[in-house]
Structures are given as C-alpha cells and as structure tokens.
Chains A and B, each alone.
Chain A
Amino acid sequence: MSASAVSPSAAQERASSTLHGRVSLASERWPEQTAVAMDGERLSYAELEAAGNRLARLLIERGVQRGDRVCLLQPKSPQAIVSMLATLKAGGVYVPVDVASPAVRVQRILDVAEPRVVLAGQAAGKLAGELRIEAEWGVVDGAKNGEPADGTADEGHRQRERKGAGFGAAEAAAKDDGALPTETAPHDAAHILFTSGSTGVPKGVVITHAMVTAFLDWALPYFGHRSGDRISGHPPLHFDLSTFDIYGTLSSGGELHLVGPRVLLPAQLARFIRENELTQWFSVPSTFAYMVKGNAIEDGDFPTLERVIWCGEVLPPAVLAHWMGRVRRPSYTNLYGPTEATIASTYHTVTEPPRDTSVPIPIGTPCGGEDVLVLDEHLQPVSAGETGELCIAGAGLSPGYWRDEERTRAAFLTQPGTGERVYRTGDLGRRDERGTLHYAGRVDSQIKSRGYRIELGEIETALSALEGVGECAVVAVPSEGFEGTLICCAWSAKPDAELDPPKLRKKLREALPSYMLPARWLQMPELPRNVAGKIDRRGLKERFAESARNA
C-alpha cells in the first residue's frame, strides 16, 4: 500500500465525522431498505443517497461553497430530507424555515442567514411570492402525479419567471447521482435553527456536525438503534428534536416515518404508531397529554414500540402513568436540553409508573460527553440540594448564535474556576444527593428584589384578574438603588373601564404582598407587540431602564 493511500477504515472514520457521511455509510450497507416514508411515499437508502447527490451537484453548480447557507422553505417531506442531505454534501449549511410563519418573520431569517440558494417546496409558493429573495431559488419537489393540486405552483412559476433565474426539480433530476468528494470538517456548521424569542429579531443557533455526532455516539448505543427500526418523525423539521429523528435513524439503517400533515387527531396519531408498527416514538409532552385526553391509547396498545422518548417541556406524571399503564413494553426516557447544546444534555429513564403523580419526573444525569453544572449568579457551583441555574458544558455546545456576538457573549460564558465554556440555559435546577438533576422553572420569570424571590408571572396573574385591566406585562429592570431590581408594569385599561393608576395600585395591594408591588407604572392605550405578535417585553424593559436612568 502506498503511503498516500487512505485505508478503508480511515475513510470510514472520516465519513463518520460528518452527518451526511454517516448517512452515506448506511446507504452503502443497507441500499434496499426504506430510509424515509410519508403518506405512502417511500425512499430507499440508495434512492435517498442518489437524490441527495444529484441535488448537491445542482447546488454546487449554482454557487454553493463550503459554509454557504441554503434556506429550506419546504414542508416536512422526504424531499425536505433530501434537501438537507444535498446541502451538507455540497458543503453548505441548511436553514430549515417554518413555512407557516408570517412572511415578515421568514424575510428576517432570510435577511440574516444570507443564503446562497433557497430551496422551496411548491406548497411554499404563496409564501415565496411575498418574499424578497436575493438569492437564487428553485422549486425542488416536482409536481406529484404530474400536476400540482392547486394554484401554488403556478404562483411559484410566475415568481421564477419574474426573477428570470431559478430552477425546478427537472434540473436536479438531470444531474449525475454518483458520490461527491467532501471537504467538510467535523466542526463545520451543519445547520442553523432559528428560534423566535421575544425580541422580534430571530436568533439562529449554529449547530455543527460534531455537536450532533457527539450526541449520536451516546444515544445510539444507549437506546439500541438498529437497522430495521421504525422511528417516528413527529416534530417539524425546524425543531431541534427532529435532528435526532433524522440522523439517529438514517445513520443506523432504520426507517424514518414522517408524521404527515393529515395526521392530526389523537386517534390518528395512535393509528399512525400502530399501522407503521413503530419501534420508537419521540415527541413533546403536550402530544402525550393530547393522546391521553383523546383516549386514543388502548390497553396493551402499540405492541411494537420499544422506546418512548419525550423532550422540550415538563411531562405531567399523570400522563406518563397513563401511558405506562397501557403501553407496557417500551422503555420511557425523559430528555432535557436546549437547542444551544443540540437535542439533549441529560436523560432520565423511568422504570416504574409514577405512583405519586405530584412528584415531577427528574431530568436525570448528563448524556455521555456532556456536563451539566448547577451554578449561582457568580457562576460558582452550588451545593447538592440547592437550586441554581443549569449550565451546560461539553461536546454538545454550539459555537454560538449566527452573526450575533452580543447574544453569544451573553449566553456562552467561561466558568471562572475551571475555565470551561458553559451555556447558561436560563433554567433553574438542583442536583440531589444521588446526583440526579431536577428541573425547577425558568430563571427569567423569577427575580430577587429586596431579598425576596419573586415570580413576575404571579404579579401578572394578579393584575389580569383585576376588573378593568386589559393587558399587562411585568418586567424587572436592574436599579442602582437599594432594591437591586425594580419591578415595572405596563398596562392598558379595558375600553369602558373606570380605572386610573392610583385605583389599580390600591386594588393590587389587596391581592399581593407589598414587596411584590411594581415600583414603576406605565399606562398605555395598548401594549407594544413584536413581529410574532407577542407583547414586546424587551422593548418595555429598555423603556423602563431608560426612564430609571433619567430619573
């Protein structure tokens, strides 16, 4: 063997260091098996790989280079998975966008992401028509059964003509489907997930290949993924959770069953699990509760299920007890973790149905390669049993927010003692004597004022209950004075309400202890809203902070 030759195992190792490389390895091993299925449409591993290679060549031809963004304006579909893989194969970074979002919000994401190419689905044709797209864009999900179902493709077509450039599924189909060389390094970005936050400016979390492969290296052996697994794809593709569905399945030879747009009712979700004989169901707790409430789960249901996993919210123990009582075979695992550390950072597998449903389910212990610290406000560890902020360190950490130094610096810090880089989750938690972590609410809704711990939400609830109050928002602003933190309230009165500020304060005094009473009041005709339509708390905070400085 010559010195320059790459040994097969080295090539394999290199392929394993990227997400698309792992899918390619699986495609070599299990070409005939189903990779992705939805609504009767199926792609085998060989087909997935070939379609990805063809579209990647088209992307490269249209200028995509290593590190360039490709925005995906596509509904959940096998084609959307092909688009993700094609982007990675071309060296690019995909940005999945929720096609149901208002055009204003999508526009902001496009403006910030600066994609080289936009890959749209026909269903997003109307949305695309409302956008100002600087990049080249094309429609990649060729008309199903020949003809589009409605006028959206025409709309897309008109757009394309107006833009002059653009491409369709036919251009990709004409490309060569052989493997492409890849220059991607493990710490290159693979995708950027935009979360809306409260400020109206979308926040893009950069997720690298290495972050995801580190999670998979723990998760796949832990959960025992294998070829032939039939795994749900329930969360939308712009959710971090879907990353595990996609790459967990497609790197281990399993079938990814995407839950399509017509599977909506509790009974339909249950039928989906049954008829596809799923081995893994992974979703958010509200879905679990929804299925219980809809009484969709029979006794002894889902006999093929081996793993039930949830993440993203707190699962009510009563809901878990119901599931475990009726679906007895699978293991039940709670995952916890923010997008900033991709998919999950801790896990807790529940072995017995909860008997006392008032005891919350722990978030557990760190996943392999991750470290979770419970820190005080000076980033010093608190003792076991004490509540502090959950901070994450280790292999899963994002390099930061896309082109947002300020937010990155605010959220990703260096722990003074160890010099370790940590992400502040904004979640409170505690570690018990046995080392198990427990979730204890959000940091930002809890403040300390004059030594008291105060939940801002509690003040808002009390205010909203008062007659005549239309809307209200309570925010905390740091102050120089002895209070440490000023509680500030913006509110509006209902149209016919006879309510003035002194009256309101008097009424609130009857409902709350004095240390919870806001110190600053601002009556407004209506409260300011951000682009997502939510009350603009950050804007209000800035306004109060300014007036506090001027005072």
Chain B
Amino acid sequence: MPEAEIVERIERIFSDTLSIAPPAPDVDMIEAALLDSLGLVTLLFEVEQEIGVQLPLEALEIDDLRSVQRIAQLVARMQGSEQGGNSKEAGGRASSGAGDGLVGADTEKSNKAPTGGAGDGPVDSDTGEEAGT
C-alpha cells in the first residue's frame, strides 16, 4: 500500500474512531499532546485492524509514533518486511512470551465490541454509541 494511502487511512481513524480532527501528517502529536496513552492504544489497534498489519509494539520507539507521517512510514516498513518473508524481523517478537496469535486474535474481537462494557468509553463503536464505561 502506498504511503499516501496509509496516511489517508490513519486520518480516517482519527476522525471516525477517536473523534479528533486529524493533525497534519508532519505535526508532532506527542509534543502537541494530541494523544494520551489510551488514545494511542486505540489508534494503533485500529491501524492494525484497518490496514491488516502487525506493529512491533515491543520494539517501538516513541519517535516511530510522533506523527501520522512516521506511523505511516512504520506501517509501510512492516508491510515491506512482511512481503519480504522476513517475518522474524517484522515482528521482532519471536522471543515474546505473549505470542502474537494469542492476543492478536482476541484483541480484534474486543475491538469489534468496544461497547462491550457499556457506557462511558472513549472509543466509539461504529454503531454510533460511545463505548460506555
């Protein structure tokens, strides 16, 4: 997927899921305090689901996540390495006791039912209601 398209998808996640006006691709979101850790968690999980890529959460540096542009570059890199068949490098998680599959699959489930707990959540499910508490 070309980087421009990834940027577009990320911008969509900002407006659709996070209810935040998407920042310009080069804006330093960390500096601007646009996202707290909960917002970032939501963003990254949505990126994984929407774009179908596994992000190396274990090996991430904060600089990888500073801007929409940077995140798009990271996604493009992951896609590149996945296509290259170098899956070990892609995840960098070969040693992780967590195991990708374990959480990957279930996380998806939980994200699809963000209202699961009811009423006060941050994350709007697409059915419209805000995830409750």
Chain A residues at the B interface, C-beta cutoff of 8 Å = 75-76, 98-103, 105, 123, 193, 195-199, 234-236, 239-241, 259, 261-269, 283-287, 289-290, 292-296, 310-319, 322, 335-341, 343-344, 357, 363, 425-427, 439, 441-442, 444-445, 456-457, 532-535, 537-538
Contact = CB atoms under 8 A, between A and B. Distances in A.
Contacts of A99: 33
Interface in B74-104: 93, 96-98, 100, 102-104
Interface centre among B39, B109, B114, by most chain A C-beta atoms within 10 angstroms, is: B114
Contact of B106 (A236, A284, A289): A289
B25 interface: no
A66 B118 CA distance: 31
Contacts of B37: 234, 259, 263-264, 268-269, 287
Contacts of A344: 133
Contacts, number: 230
B8 interface: no
Contacts of A196: 19, 124, 130
A441 B113 contact: yes
B41 A290 contact: yes
A315 B121 CA distance: 14
A285 B122 CA distance: 12
B129 A293 contact: no
Given A195-B119, A335-B133, 12 more contacts: A198-B128, A239-B121, A261-B30, A264-B62, A289-B107, A290-B44, A295-B97, A338-B133, A343-B133, A344-B133, A425-B119, A533-B12
Contact of B35 (A100, A241, A311): A100
Interface in B28-60: 30, 33-42, 44-45, 57-58, 60
B6 interface: no
A357 B106 contact: yes
Interface centre among A198, A338, A340 (most CB of B within 10 A): A338
A534 B12 CA distance: 9
Most A C-beta atoms less than 10 A away, residue of B33, B34, B123, B128: B128
18 contacts: A102-B19, A197-B130, A199-B128, A240-B119, A264-B40, A268-B37, A284-B122, A287-B37, A293-B57, A295-B98, A312-B133, A337-B133, A340-B132, A444-B129, A533-B14, A533-B15, A533-B16, A535-B126
B103 A292 contact: yes
Given A290-B41, A294-B57, A312-B133, A338 B118 contact: yes
A76 B42 CA distance: 18
A313 B98 contact: no
Max chain B C-beta neighbours (<10 A), residue from A267, A316, A457: A316
B57 A198 contact: no
B107 A319 contact: yes
Contact of B65 (A264, A283, A296): A264
Nearest to B22: A533
B61 to A, nearest CB: 8
Contacts of A456: 127
Contacts of B120: 193, 195, 239-241, 312, 338-339
Given A265-B62, A339-B133, A533-B15, A290 B124 contact: no
B114 A313 contact: yes
Contacts of A269: 37
Nearest to B21: A102
Given A312-B121, A313-B110, A336-B117, A101 B98 contact: no
B131 interface: yes
B131 A313 contact: yes
A259 B19 contact: no
Given A100-B35, A311-B133, A426-B129, A286 B41 contact: yes
A289 B103 contact: yes
Please provide the 3 A-B residue pairs with the shortest distance between their CB atoms, ordered closest to farther.
A338-B119, A198-B128, A533-B15
B104 to A, nearest CB: 8
A302 to B, nearest CB: 16
Contacts of B130: 195-197
Contact of B60 (A100, A193, A294, A317): A294
A456 B127 CA distance: 9
B113 A318 contact: no
A241 B119 CA distance: 10
A444 B128 contact: yes
Contact of A264 (B30, B42, B106): B30
Contacts of A293: 57-58, 98, 100, 103-104, 107
A285 B113 CA distance: 11
B69 interface: no
B119 A197 contact: no
Nearest to B115: A442
